[in-house]
Amino acid sequence: MNKPLKKMMTLLIIVAMVFTTVFSLVACKKDEQQGLDGHKHTWSEWTTEYDNSYKCSGGVSHRTCSICGTTQTKDVKPSHIKGDDGKCIYCGVVVYYTNSTYTAVSPSNWNELTYQDNNDTQIFYNLISSFFEFDYKFDEEGEIIPGAFEVEYSAATKLEDVTAQYADKYGYADGATGYAWKITLRNDLKWNDGTAIKAEDFVYTMKEQLNPLFRNYRADSFYNSGTVIHNAQGYAKQGLKVDETVSNLFSGIAEAKKAGYTDIYLDMNAVNAAFAEWFGGTYAQVKGAGMLDQYFTMYDENGQSLGQNFFAKYDLEKVSDKVEEQQILVTDEMIADYGKCKDWNPDPDVEVAMLSVIKNYVYPEVSFDDVGIFVGNNEYELVLCLDKAIPLLKEDGSLSYMAAYQLSSLPLVKKDLYEACKQAPVQGSTLWTSNYNSSVETTASWGPYMLTSFQSGKEYVLEKNPYWYGYTANLYEGQYQTDRIVCETIGEWETAWLKFQKGEIDGITIDVTIANDYKGSDQAYFTPTDFVSSFQLQSSEEALKNRESAGVNKTILTYTEFRKALSLGIDRAEFANSCTTSSLAGFGLYNSMHYYDVENGGAYRETDAAKQVLCNVYGIDVSKFASLDDAVDSITGYDLAQARELVNTAYDKAIADGKMKEGDKVVLVWGTAVDNESTRRTYEFVKNAWTNLMVGTKLEGKFELNFDASFGDNWANDFRSGAYDVCAGGWTGAAWDPGYFLLAYLSPDYMYSTAWDTSAQQMTFTMPVKQEDGTYKDTELTMSLMDWYNCLNGIAGSAYDWSANAVDQDTRLPLIAALEEQVLLAYYTLPMYNDYSASLISFKADYISYEYNTFMAYGGLRYMQYNYTDSQWAEFVSSQGGQLNYK
Residue 223 sits in the site that holds other proteins (CB under 8 A):
yes
| Cα–chain center distance at 725 | 30
Q: Cα Rg for the chain, rounded, in angstroms?
A: 31
Taking phi over 0 as left and psi of -120 to 50 as alpha, with beta for the rest, 774 belongs to: left
Scanning residues 444 to 473, which ones bind other proteins (CB under 8 A)? 455-459
Is the CB of 490 or the CB of 556 nearer to other proteins? 490
The CA dihedral of 311, 312, 314, 315, to the nearest 10 degrees, is: 90
Cα(15)–Cα(185) distance, integer angstroms: 38
Judged by CB under 8 A, the stretch of 101-109, 541-549, 670-678, 684-692 that binds other proteins is 101-109
Residue 294 sits in the site that holds other proteins (CB under 8 A):
no
Handedness of CA 23, 28, 34, 36 (dihedral sign): positive
Among 430, 472, 775, 885, binds other proteins (CB under 8 A): 430
Is the CB of 269 or the CB of 523 nearer to other proteins? 269
Among 91, 105, 674, 874, binds other proteins (CB under 8 A): 105
Among 237, 554, 564, 844, binds other proteins (CB under 8 A): 237
Site string for other proteins, 346-385 (x = CB under 8 A): ----------------------------------------
Q: Kindly state the smallest distance separating residue 494's Cβ from other proteins, in Å.
A: 7
Q: Kindly state the smallest distance separating residue 499's Cβ from other proteins, in Å.
A: 5
| Cα–chain center distance at 12 | 57
Residue 870 sits in the site that holds other proteins (CB under 8 A):
no
Cα(753)–Cα(497) distance, integer angstroms: 40
Q: Which stretches does DSSP call E strand in 84-223? A: 98-103, 132-138, 144-153, 156-161, 180-185
Name the DSSP class of 346: S
Cα(37)–Cα(156) distance, integer angstroms: 9
Residue 574 sits in the site that holds other proteins (CB under 8 A):
no
The amino acid present at 587, given as its one-letter code, is F
Q: Kindly state the smallest distance separating residue 96's Cβ from other proteins, in Å.
A: 19
71 three-class SS: strand
Residue 429 sits in the site that holds other proteins (CB under 8 A):
yes
Judged by CB under 8 A, the stretch of 13-21, 215-223, 346-354, 392-400 that binds other proteins is 215-223
Nearest Cα to Cα of residue 278 among 321, 314, 307, 247: 247
Within 10 angstroms of residue 765's Cβ, the number of other Cβ atoms is: 15
Is the CB of 225 or the CB of 578 nearer to other proteins? 225
Nearest Cα to Cα of residue 444 among 620, 796, 193, 225: 193
Residue 130 sits in the site that holds other proteins (CB under 8 A):
no
Scanning residues 491 to 510, which ones bind other proteins (CB under 8 A)? 491-492, 494-495, 498-499, 501-502, 504
Residue 260 sits in the site that holds other proteins (CB under 8 A):
no
Is the CB of 233 or the CB of 581 nearer to other proteins? 233
Among 31, 160, 220, 255, binds other proteins (CB under 8 A): 220
Strand partners, 782: 764
Cα(422)–Cα(426) distance, integer angstroms: 12
Q: Kindly state the smallest distance separating residue 422's Cβ from other proteins, in Å.
A: 12
The amino acid present at 551, given as its one-letter code, is G
Nearest Cα to Cα of residue 557 among 343, 826, 174, 352: 826
Q: Kindly state the smallest distance separating residue 883's Cβ from other proteins, in Å.
A: 8
Is the CB of 162 or the CB of 487 nearer to other proteins? 487
Residue 517 sits in the site that holds other proteins (CB under 8 A):
no
What are the start-end ranges of the H helices in 742-792? 743-746, 785-792
Name the DSSP class of 622: G
Among 215, 464, 653, 698, binds other proteins (CB under 8 A): 215
The amino acid present at 554, given as its one-letter code, is K
Instruction: Tell me the site size for other proteins, rule CB under 8 A.
Output: 54
Is the CB of 437 or the CB of 482 nearer to other proteins? 437
Residue 158 sits in the site that holds other proteins (CB under 8 A):
no
**Would you say 537 and 726 are in contact if contact means Cβ atoms under 8 Å apart?**
yes
Phi, psi angles (nearest 5°) of residue 622 = -60, -30
Residue 245 sits in the site that holds other proteins (CB under 8 A):
no
Nearest Cα to Cα of residue 213 among 238, 196, 180: 238
Cα(504)–Cα(883) distance, integer angstroms: 10
Cα(33)–Cα(55) distance, integer angstroms: 37
Q: Kindly state the smallest distance separating residue 491's Cβ from other proteins, in Å.
A: 4
Residue 36 sits in the site that holds other proteins (CB under 8 A):
no
Judged by CB under 8 A, the stretch of 161-169, 379-387, 487-495, 844-852 that binds other proteins is 487-495
Q: Kindly state the smallest distance separating residue 384's Cβ from other proteins, in Å.
A: 20
Classify residue 688 as exposed, middle or buried by CB count within 10 Å of its CB (0-12, 13-18, 19+): exposed
| Cα–chain center distance at 876 | 40
Site string for other proteins, 647-686 (x = CB under 8 A): ----------------------------------------
Q: Kindly state the smallest distance separating residue 125's Cβ from other proteins, in Å.
A: 17
* Chain residues that interact with other proteins, rule: CB under 8 A: 105-109, 111, 114, 116-117, 119-120, 215-217, 219-220, 223-225, 233, 236-237, 240, 242, 425-431, 433-435, 438, 455-459, 488-492, 494-495, 498-499, 501-502, 504, 882-883
